Structure 1
Amino acid sequence: MEQFYLKNISKYHSLVDALDPCPKPRISKGMPGPNMVVSARIRPLSENERLPSATFPRSSQKNVVDVHDLCNHPRGAPILRSNDYQVDRLFHPKSTTEEIYEDLVADLVPFAWNGGIGTLFAYGQTGSGKTFTVNRLEELVADTLMNGNLEGEREIYMTIIDLAGNAAFDLLSDRKPISLLEDSLGITQMVGAVEHPVLDMEDMRALIERATSFRRTAPTLKNPASSRSHAICRIRIWNRADGSDGLLYLIDLAGSEGARDVAAHGADRMREARQINISLSVLKDCIRGKAEADTATSLKGEKLGQKLPHVPFRQSALTRVLKHVFDPAGARACRTVVIACVNPSLADVGPTKNTLRFAEMLRVPGPATNETSADRKSAIQWTNTQLREWIRANCGTPAILDSVVAPRESGAQLFNLSGAEIEYRCRKCPGVRLEQAKAFRSMLWQMYISS
């Protein structure tokens, strides 16, 4: 197939150039869910890639990407077939990992610091930049946790494990095998995995580098050192004052493979790829089930006796470990970020479409709303614009900044935050003291209750 593309590069460019620069807008499926953000990152083309990009972020519509494939028509000249996909956040080839961190991950750190469960998944084809992205995000998380800007005293512990099929290994103990066993409460415990205390930034970076050196890799047609397992970095943040803890998961998923990428490697690699793809399929069902439950709750759609969506977390080792992240009946607040990493090359247009299709299936947006309507029956249905207008009108002195308290959240997303998280954001504003932050949080809650 690559030879066909190489032979028809000029034809491909002429077909793409002839496309309408302002295509018909894709109909939005509403706002993102309250606790889930699905994003895509398009990595730059490398110097040794001979084919042009097939992935084009749409300039006329935010967070929409067009993928153009060249097809060999049996009755004539090659033709162009195009697909478009929509995510909650789209990062172009020139976007840096630091920008991704500020937009997606920076809020997960104080969320976990204050007792929540924050989870990041990096998904995509082998060679799409997942491990590159996660490694840099781990460094930025370490910097945020250790720079002393977060309020309060916490103890930080780190565990990093590797999941290959149903086998699990401790990457911080020279890849020692561990067991995944359920306790009496139905929670999966990583028996044998060592939880390492983290004292400073250099200590945390050293643990991350050590785990990376023990990660399971193997050559594929797309990558000489492809990740053939799921790496789970769990950061537990313990608050000695009240005995509570928060969790932050940074998960580098195994590369999703097509049959053409593994067929040349024999039966073992085919079996390995099948196990990886099954676990990714189960993960998709679990993420979507949890998002559906959160969306129903945030829109006040829950009714007494309403049945919660089924979340099949028992069907893979990966989702058993993360049961508390997906449990719709769980009492702890959870927020999830997915980064779908994409290889833009025309040679990888098939896997690119599969990755973006996977990302789209994770989106469970609420119903589309008319953002110009000021007649909201409930503050939980407010858009970010309406919420920030209310904050500016009730900010007090010194001003509680809407850009700090609710930089991107809708009403549903903000009201799902803990009181400690809202107070923490208020106190990030210059001059705001704890008493003012508590008063503002109380006023915000009273407004929500009365509406």
Structure 2
Amino acid sequence: MTATEMTTSQPDLAEKEERQQSVAGDAGPDSIPASVTATALCKEKHAAWSTLNSTLRAKEGSAAERLLGQKAQMSSFIFEAGLKLPRPEPLPEALSDEILLAATKDDGRDTTVCIRVRPVLPHEEAKGEYPVVIASNPGLNVHSMDFRWNGMSNIKTNKYEVDLAFGPEHDNDVVYNAVAKPLIPLVLSNGMGTLLAYGQTGSGKTYTMTSMQERIATDIFSLARQHRCARDPAYNGSDDTGFVFTLCFFELMGKQAFDLLDDRKSISILEDTFGAVQIVGARQEDVVDSTHFLELIERGSALRRTEATAKNETSSRSHAVCCIKVRNNELPEAEDGMLYLVDLAGSENNSDSSHHNRDRINETKEINKSLGTLKECIRNRSLVGLSNNHVHIPFRTSRLTLILKEAFDPLSTRQCRTTVIANVSPGILDAQQTLNTMRYIEPLRVTLPPQPTAVVDDQTNPATWTNAYLRKWILANYLGGRVDPNMLCPTESGKQLCRVPMGTFINRCMLCEGVDPRHAKELYLKLWNLLIDARTRNRNGPSKPAARIDADGARKASIRPAVPGRPKQLAVKQLKPGQFVALTPDAISDGKAPIVLLLEKRPDGAWVVADVVAAENDPDRYELLIADRWVAHTLLLKKLVELEYDRKSRYYILKNVV
């Protein structure tokens, strides 16, 4: 081919390509390759989202400018509203170590809800922000402003009530003495304390929790010495208090957990065969003094994951859990005390997360999911004592609530207290997020119904016994006074002694001369039988089984008729395999279980049955013993009962007596 031919062929090729593209365009999208179509669609969506984000940012900017421009009107409104506020109630005073350790107050509530309002920061003042959140213990007023269609502004006042409200004028010492320090004596007495810091990102959660950790690091050792002095007159005040403190520090990100004391090594949160939660693979260090304690906290905090967000340059993107285990060598049989200090990840609303990338959005979803589960667990735990029906507590839904399982479990044998500190920002631009924070924590504070006048020292109900009456009962009713009340219950009331674990109870009794484990266990069971009988008498609605415990640990029970009088004879034709039937009092007095499951009808009319006994820790739940079979005559069958199987607890729950 000549040069001239080559030159003339190039335009022909260009024209041919244009014709092909024109034909492809006329043929429609079906003839275009899929990869080309997908790329074009992605570009269009990206352009649309970019335009939408630009529009939203412009609207947010204009709305913020309008709010900041209403400072004079809002300040005047807040000033007038403040004149109508009632005088704030005084916050709890800082108690001395001796009084704090001897305190025996028990109001029956396991959860305390607090709010803390931080001051307006310098960079916020530079932008023209002003405070609209006013704390007046125990209340909180949030003033918000919106604009009507005609451009007129509308100011709303939202009022909330919590247990304790801290304003910008309250420093860390005031907050610590009121909510964190009272948890230490509980932990030294083999209990479980949980302190949770919740709030919007940038509201001061980490600042509050860090200050609590620093003060606990100092006071936990001094309170341990005071605790030993109060119980051992021969103690010389040395550093050997008999307590061993073990600390582990880790963070939770969705379903993953990382050890902050071992270079973010991956760890596992698992339940063992006994239902206890184990932190597998976490590094646990024995803490020797306050300096060592603070070094571990500082080391772990430095490895915690943070990311820059629109609200905070160092926003926490995980839940940081500091677990302090307290082992008492003087009472080796007692459970270890546990103190959980949890700095929750910052909550965010749509406006805060509008500028996130895909990873940040997924993190926000996991954070909000776990916070929602935590809220449900805390509230449902509070509702357990107010309802006769079964209340489900979904603590296995997230890793965070699984770790705190014992604090939510109504069947836990140890005393547990949970304190929630909600941190809020005071500025006008954060008013909506502050309202969201208050909506989150408001349901956690369950108001107890008005209680009738309490009966004190009812001889049939240990929960009403004062320490003086409890001492008198121990001396008058058991072993000829061999159990010394000063060893068993130096300060506890009857209700508090019933909440002491069996191992601790027996260990205290064995400190008395002439008392062996069998005698101590008999005393423990005798006290608990009185308590269970009292609860059964006071329970409203249809009668439920009153569990009895013998010295060998076996439980017996009786079904009381719902209506006084002689019950009608159960019709034989009603009976079918698979039904649950309550036995007559005569059968129960012979040592039979209170309820049986009908398995098979014999030719002589009798039934092969399996025992259904009350659960060991809860007389309102039942366990089917399919191997304990025997033959029951129809005369021993009293009435049909309805039991519902709970998959979570693996127990049966009494629903109705037919």
| Common fold: TM-score over 0.5 | yes
Say yes or no: does 1:163 pair with 2:252: yes
Deviation at 1:377, TM superposition (A): 3.3
* 8 Å contact from structure 1 (residues 68, 83) kept in 2: yes
Residues 414 and 501 in structure 2, CA contact (< 8 A), matched pair in contact too: no
Task: Specify which of 153, 160, 174 is matched with residue 99 of structure 1.
Answer: 174
Task: Choose from 325, 331, 347 the match for 1:256.
Answer: 347
Deviation at 1:20, TM superposition (A): 7.0
Cα separation, 2, equivalents of 1:257 and 1:15: 28
Q: Secondary structure at the match of 2:226?
A: coil
Query: Structure 1 residues 43 and 418 mapped into 2: Cα distance closer, same or farther (>3 Å)?
Result: farther
Name the counterpart of 2:197: 122
Name structure 2 gaps, 5 residues minimum: 1-62, 88-105, 229-240, 459-463, 469-490, 503-526, 535-658
Long gaps (5+) in structure 1 = 26-30, 381-386, 393-404, 421-444
> Which residue in the other structure is 1:201 paired with?
290
Alpha carbons 2:467, 2:494 under 8 Å: kept: no
Secondary structure of 2:179's match? helix
Runs of 4+ with deviation above 3 angstroms: 17-20, 375-380, 411-420
3-state SS of 1:90 partner: strand
CA apart distance, 1:75: 2.4
The Cα of 1:412 is off from its aligned counterpart by 11
Match of 1:426 in 2: none
- Structure 2 match to 1:396: none
Equivalent of 1:56 in 110, 118, 134: 134
How far apart, in 1, do the equivalents of 2:379 and 2:268 lie?
27
Change (3 A) 1:75 1:391: farther
The corresponding residue for 1:291 is: 382
Once superposed, what is the RMSD of the aligned Cα atoms? 3.3
CA contact (8 A) 1:32 1:88 kept: no
**How much identity, in percent, do the aligned residues show?**
35
Q: How far off its partner does 1:185 sit?
A: 1.8
Are residues 20 and 339 of structure 1, via their aligned partners in 2, closer, same or farther at CA, if it must alter by over 3 Å? closer
Q: What is the rounded CA distance, in whole Å, between the counterparts of 1:23 and 1:134 in structure 2? A: 30
How far apart are residue 19 of structure 1 and its match? Answer: 3.6
Correspondence list, 1:41-440, <5 A: 41-49=116-124, 50-58=128-136, 62-147=137-222, 148-151=225-228, 152-241=241-330, 242-244=332-334, 245-293=336-384, 295-296=385-386, 306-368=388-450, 376-377=454-455, 418=500
Residues 414, 499 of structure 2: 8 Å contact kept: no
Structure 1 CA distance for aligned equivalents of residues 154 and 170 of structure 2: 31
Question: For the residues of structure 1 that align with 2:495 and 2:366, how far apart are their CA atoms?
Answer: 35
1:404-442 deviation line (CA, Å, top 9, x unaligned): x89xxxx9997787599xxxxxxxxxxxxxxxxxxxxxx
- Secondary structure at the counterpart of residue 349 of structure 1: helix
Amino acid at match of 2:199: G
User: How many angstroms apart in 1 are the aligned matches of 2:418 and 2:107?
Assistant: 12
Residue type at the aligned position of 2:227: L
Tell me the alpha carbon deviations over residues 106-152 of structure 1, each in whole angstroms, 9 at most, x when there is no partner: 11111111100110000000111111111111111111122333325
1:76 & 1:232 partners in 2: Cα distance? 47
What's the secondary structure of 1:290's corresponding residue?
helix
Verify the 8 A CA contact 1:39 1:88 in the aligned structure 2. Answer: yes
Distance 1:15 1:145, change over 3 A: closer
Number of matched pairs: 386
CA distance in structure 2 between the aligned counterparts of 1:211 and 1:360, rounded to whole angstroms: 32
What is the letter of the counterpart of residue 349 of structure 1? A
Contact kept? 2:113, 2:441, Cα under 8 Å: yes
Alignment-derived partner of residue 437 in structure 1: none
**Structure 2 length normalisation: TM-score?**
0.54
Q: CA deviation at 1:11?
A: 2.2
Q: Which amino acid aligns with 1:17?
A: F
Structure 1 position 53, deviation (Å): 0.7
Stretch of structure 1 that moved more, 9-18 or 117-126: 9-18
d(CA) in 1 for partners of 2:289, 2:85: 51
Separation in structure 2 between the aligned mates of residue 414 and residue 20 of structure 1, nearest angstrom: 42
Match of 2:112 in 1: 37
Partner of 1:264, secondary structure, is coil
Question: Cα distance 1:78–1:327, how it changes in 2: closer, same or farther (>3 A)?
Answer: same
Deviation at residue 188 of structure 1 after TM alignment = 2.8
> For residue 153 of structure 1, what is the amino acid of its counterpart?
G
Aligned-partner SS, 2:83: coil
Larger relative contact order (C-alpha < 8 A, sep ≥ 6)? Answer: 1
Alpha-carbon offset, residue 74 of structure 1: 1.4
1:21 aligns with 2:21: no
| Residue identity matched to 1:35 | D
The structure-2 alpha-carbon separation of the partners of 1:32 and 1:348, relative to structure 1 and needing over 3 Å to count, comes to farther
Cα distance in 1, alignment partners of residues 363 and 78 from structure 2: 37
> Residue 181 of structure 1: CA displacement?
2.1
What's the secondary structure of 1:262's corresponding residue? coil
CA contact (8 A) 1:234 1:249 kept: yes
Native 8 Å contact 1:160 1:172 kept in 2: yes
Q: Which moved more, 1:248-257 or 1:103-112?
A: 103-112
Worse overlay, 337-346 or 313-322: 313-322
Paired residue type of 2:178:
D
